[in-house]
Amino acid sequence: MGICLDELRLLVVRPTLKQLRAWSPGMEALLLGTAAQESELGFHLKLGRRHGMGIFQIQPTTHRQIWDEYLINFPALASKVRGLASQRDFLQHPHAELATNLRYATAIAWLIYRAAGIDQVEREDLPRMAKLWKKYFHHGPSASLRDFVDSYCRLIKPAEKCLPQNDTAAANATAVNEALSKESVAQEGAVKDCEPQYTLAAQPQPAPPREHPQESRNPQTAR
């Protein structure tokens, strides 16, 4: 088990977004879904040799890009984000804040989406949240849209209530299935493209050994 969902929502994600004037039900849901998929809501802060850190598994290179390429253009916002970090430790070990400082890590996770132009997302639009995570946040090939949906339904909402029982939910469920189907087809196509362009039956067979004419033996020479 990771961090309690309600505590993570009410004590970390929501107040951080409100302090940055970026809170909305959809953005809150997107960040919680991201944490659910990346670390199971904080069950892992560092997965083996992976470079990602914290509940959002943010990579140091991405962390650096947010500061050097995005926040440099928004000094007022940069000041707010810097205020969430430690005063001294941040200067010596800035990337460690991603694992030890939940509110700072949440701010950086939000900035990753904001830098990609994502300001709003509907809370119940699970297909879009999965696509946004896959396209702009996740950097490894090991996870899929289905993984995000499964993690969200398992950790954020009970599976039977993941999509409300109404017309909008039915449309969302259809969109999820279509997105997953397209992704599966794309993955299968990629695998086929990587396969050798021949089968075992079509491989050239080695030529049979040449039969050398038997030399006539002279019985006397043989003796």
Residue 45 pLDDT level (bands cut at 50, 70, 90):
confident
Please tell me the distance from the alpha carbon of residue 17 to that of residue 21, in angstroms, as a whole number.
Answer: 6
Q: Spell out the domain ranges in the chain.
A: 5-183
Please tell me the distance from the alpha carbon of residue 155 to that of residue 37, in angstroms, as a whole number.
Answer: 9
Per-residue DSSP letter, 58? B
* pLDDT tens figures, 65-124: 999 999 999 999 999 999 999 988 899 899 999 999 999 999 999 999 999 999 899 988
- Give the pLDDT score at 193: 39
More reliable by pLDDT, 180 or 157: 157
Please tell me the distance from the alpha carbon of residue 83 to that of residue 89, in angstroms, as a whole number.
Answer: 13
Of 42-51, 176-185, 206-215, the poorest mean pLDDT is in 206-215
pTM: 0.74
User: Contact, 86 vs 67, CB < 8 A?
Assistant: no
Please tell me the distance from the alpha carbon of residue 167 to that of residue 63, in angstroms, as a whole number.
Answer: 40
* pLDDT tens figures, 137-172: 987 767 899 999 999 999 998 644 565 544 444 455
Q: Tell whether the model's pLDDT for residue 197 goes beyond 60.
A: no
